[in-house]
Structures are given as C-alpha cells and as structure tokens.
Amino acid sequence: MTAPSSAIVIAAAPRASRGLWHDALRRLRRNKPALVGLAFIAIFVFGAVFAPLIAPYAPTAGSLANGQQGPSLAHIMGTDLQGRDEFSRILYGAQISLTVGVVAVFFGLIGGLSSEPLPAAPAAPSTPS
C-alpha cells in the first residue's frame, strides 16, 4: 500500500486586467525577439520617411568615373557600376517599398470590408432509410 500524499496545491490568484492595450504592451515588453523586430521596422520606416534628409546624394545621380567604388567616407556603402551611391538608393528604395506595402494593405482592407460574407451552403437532402 502507498502512503497518502500530502501535496500542497497553491493556486495563483488571477491578475486583474488593466485593459487590452496595457496587457498587450506588457506582453510586448517581455518578448525580446519582438522588440528587436520592432526596432528594425522602426529604423526602416525612419529611413524611408526621412530619405530626402538623410541621403547624401540623389538616387539617380551618378558618374561613370566613380563606378564600383568600395565603401568610403564619400560613399558609405560604395557605388554601383554607374557610379550611383548605394546608400542613397537603398533609402529611396525603402520609401517605395513602404508605399507599396501601405497601398496593398489599404486595398486588402477595402476589399475585405466591402465584400459580403458567403451564403451558407444548402443542406444536403436526406435519404430515407
């Protein structure tokens, strides 16, 4: 025979909710990979929005004499074959990518909100047994 166990069960008291947004932010702050991803997205959006102020050169301006240079103080990420600054082109490319993403989400939202739910399929007729 086995001896009766004397296990103590401690039940945690339920935590009072402080609201949906507060709980979501609390969970986000505890999730380190999500914060790293949020930082990358914030840097991407910041670069895209402020590209005209950050970019040292116009994205299409180039000089064939400066083609395929490596990174330097004049060109942070170097130049391409046509002598265009890579850093400036990446910043302006981020602007285009962000615009395409926002427009796609907008059209998806409009399409989803304007469509009617599909009607339920009619019930199959029952066969007598």
Asked if pLDDT for residue 43 goes beyond 90, the answer is yes
The residue ranking higher by pLDDT, 107 or 129, is: 107
Residue 120 lies in a domain: no
pLDDT at 31: 95
Q: State mean pLDDT over 103-108.
A: 96
Residues 9-35, mean pLDDT to the nearest whole number: 85
What is the reported pLDDT for 126?
A: 73
Considering the entire predicted model, what is its pTM? 0.65
Q: Is residue 83 part of a domain?
A: yes
pLDDT tens profile 55-105: 888 988 888 888 888 898 988 999 999 999 999 999 999 999 999 999 999
Whether 1 is covered by a domain: the verdict is no
The pLDDT value recorded for residue 100 is 96
Q: What domain range is 107 assigned to?
A: 29-111
Average pLDDT over residues 6-34: 83
Give the pLDDT of residue 124: 72
The pLDDT of residue 18 is 81
Does 121 map to a domain?
no
In a domain, 72, yes or no: yes
Residue 12 lies inside a defined structural domain of this protein: no
SS (H, E, C) the chain: CCCCCCCCCCCCCCCCCCCHHHHHHHHHHHCHHHHHHHHHHHHHHHHHHCHHHHCCCCCCCCCHHHCCCCCCCCCCCCECCCCCEHHHHHHHHHHHHHHHHHHHHHHHHHHHHHCCCCCCCCCCCCCCC
Q: How many domains does the chain have?
A: 1
Asked if residue 8 is part of any domain, the answer here is no
Residue 98 lies in a domain: yes
